[in-house]
Amino acid sequence: MLPVTAGPSPLIAFDDLLDLERSRAFHEGRQALGLSSMESLLEALRAAGHLLRPPGLCVHVAGSEGKTSVTELIAAGLRAAGRSTGTYTSPHLRDARERLRIDGAFPPDAALRRAVEAVRTAWQGLEPGPSWFEAMTATAAALFSDGGADAAVWETGLGGRLDATRCLPAELCVITSISLEHTAILGDTLAAVAREKAGILRPGRPAVVGAGVPEEAREQLIAEAERLGCPVHAVSSVTRDAEPAALNQAIARCAVEALVEHGLLADLPEERLSAALEACTVEGRADRRGDVLFDGAHTVAAIEALVRRRAGGAAGPVVFGATSGRDALAMARALRPGAAPLILTRSPGVRGVDPGPLAEALADDGPEQTHGSTQIGQVLIEADPQRALERAGVHAPAGSEILVTGSLHLIGLLLPPSGADA
């Protein structure tokens, strides 16, 4: 398995902790969730004199798709309003510090070391000790407190009700979308997933519900919001079938406007907010580098939306790798009709889905089709992701685009450095 923390970073101190994010047992529903360990860790930090000045404005984001993009977009809006803003996101692509940005940049090394040491000291004697994600969440809380930032946007790791981020403060909660994902943990119906996501709602605090939420799930979210007395702001400026970028920008805009409406943020001129949202980009999401499109779609709904966006263009190679806990077969089936060819690889880490059985299952669906000189739907296996991308280059027809998708861990491995965090 790849190390959790890449490069020289104080976060290496957490590498020996249990990493549920990369645990197959956890994603198969064989490991219990709970908040007691996170609550104990935060209480120990407070008792030691930390977390005494948390960011004055906090936003909590959950959802099946678009969480990271919406988190970054809301943060861009807050910065445009003059707020120094911390973002806590997951997963990271190359460097764990990506999860802990302040005003879009890695935190100062000295400040990060202080936060890490505070967390390490706080968990001494705690039983059970924290997981890697809990330690990272506590680090974000410590880093953004005590003057590190005057606003924060937390992205939920998984679900909502029992996610470690639920223990952090929030004046506004945002649910971007609902689709079937992590069904072994969150449930196998849209209503069940929605109930878990609705667990982030705070009594009396405003909530934003994205346009990408199906009616069955929306009913659950609205019912829980009403029970808790949460004013609901439903995104209505776009429809559910809009482009992901438009969906995400609409959610972020609605969130910033809700903060202003409820007196939590000073009024922000429309032109300034629009410029901030338009300028915000997120690595690994619809990220085009030359003739390769890197897109971290990793749910069936996100893959199907990606396929619809690419319909009508020249068929090209698709490099696909998924992780356990996802419906890899359904995603591969959605990609295959527009792939020339579909190259199955293995996403890095123990959760990477074996491409062999996946190819066997696809073989039962029938052969590829030939359109002129282009074979569409051909399935190849290349377990090594780097070689899979190289093979895609060999197979790419003139004028076509290579697509890499299925897992953010795969994207992180193959995406060229941007230079922004060098």
Q: Give yes or no for residue 14 having a pLDDT over 60.
A: yes
Q: What is the pLDDT of residue 271?
A: 97
Alpha helices in 262-384 (DSSP H): 270-279, 300-310, 328-335, 355-363
Q: What is the mean pLDDT of residues 387-415?
A: 94
Dihedral of alpha carbons 308, 310, 316, 317, sign:
negative
**Per residue in 25-70, pLDDT tens?**
776 777 778 999 999 999 999 999 999 899 999 999 999 999 999 9
8 — pLDDT class (breaks 50, 70, 90): low
Q: Are 263 and 251 in contact (CB under 8 A)?
A: no
Please check the confidence at residue 87 and state whether its pLDDT lies above 50.
yes
**Looking at residue 311, what is its pLDDT?**
84
Instruction: Give the pLDDT score at 368.
Output: 63
| Per-residue pLDDT at 260 | 97
DSSP E strands in 66-137: the ranges are 85-88, 100-102
Q: Per-residue pLDDT for 3 more than 60?
A: no
Q: What is the pLDDT of residue 377?
A: 85
Distances (CA, A) of 308 to 108, 212, 246, 323, 335: 42, 15, 15, 22, 10
Residue 263 has pLDDT above 60, yes or no: yes
Q: How deeply is 131 buried, as exposed, middle or buried, from its count of CB atoms within 10 A (0-12, 13-18, 19+)?
A: buried
203 versus 315: which is more confidently predicted?
203
Output the pLDDT for position 4.
54
ω into 128 cis (within 30 of 0) = yes
User: pTM of the full predicted structure?
Assistant: 0.92
Q: Is pLDDT of 227 > 60?
A: yes
* Residue 234 exposed, middle or buried by CB count within 10 Å (0-12, 13-18, 19+): middle
pLDDT of 129 > 80? The answer is: yes
Digit-coded pLDDT (tens) for 176-201: 999 998 888 899 999 999 999 999 99
Burial class (CB in 10 A: 0-12, 13-18, 19+), 288: exposed
pLDDT at 13: 94
Instruction: Please check whether residue 183 is in contact with residue 191, taking contact to mean a CB–CB distance below 8 angstroms.
Output: no
Query: Which pLDDT belongs to residue 7?
Result: 55
Looking at residue 177, its pLDDT comes to 96
Length of the chain: 422
Q: In terms of pLDDT, which residue wins out, 126 or 325? A: 126
Average of per-residue pLDDT values in the chain: 92
Neighbours of 365 (CB within 10 A): 13
Domains of the chain, CATH where assigned: 10-279 (3.40.1190.10), 287-414 (3.90.190.20)
Tokens 């990272």 belong to 136
* Confidence (pLDDT) at 32: 75
Percentage of residues of the chain with pLDDT beyond 90: 79
Nearest to 318 by CA among 308, 307, 302: 307
Q: Could you tell me the two tokens for 210?
A: 């994205």
Which structure tokens are listed for 7? 């490069």
**CA atoms 12, 14, 15, 20: torsion sign:** negative
Q: Is the pLDDT of residue 286 over 60?
A: yes
At 372 the pLDDT is: 46
pLDDT band at residue 259 under the 50/70/90 scheme: very high
Average of pLDDT values for 65-78?
A: 97
Predicted local confidence at residue 393, as pLDDT: 95
Q: Is the pLDDT of residue 1 over 50?
A: no
pLDDT in tens, 132-190: 999 999 999 999 997 789 999 999 999 999 999 999 999 999 999 999 988 888 999 99
Q: Which residues of 384-410 are buried (b: 16+ CB within 10 A; e: fewer)?
A: ebeebbebbeebbeeebbbbbbbbbbb
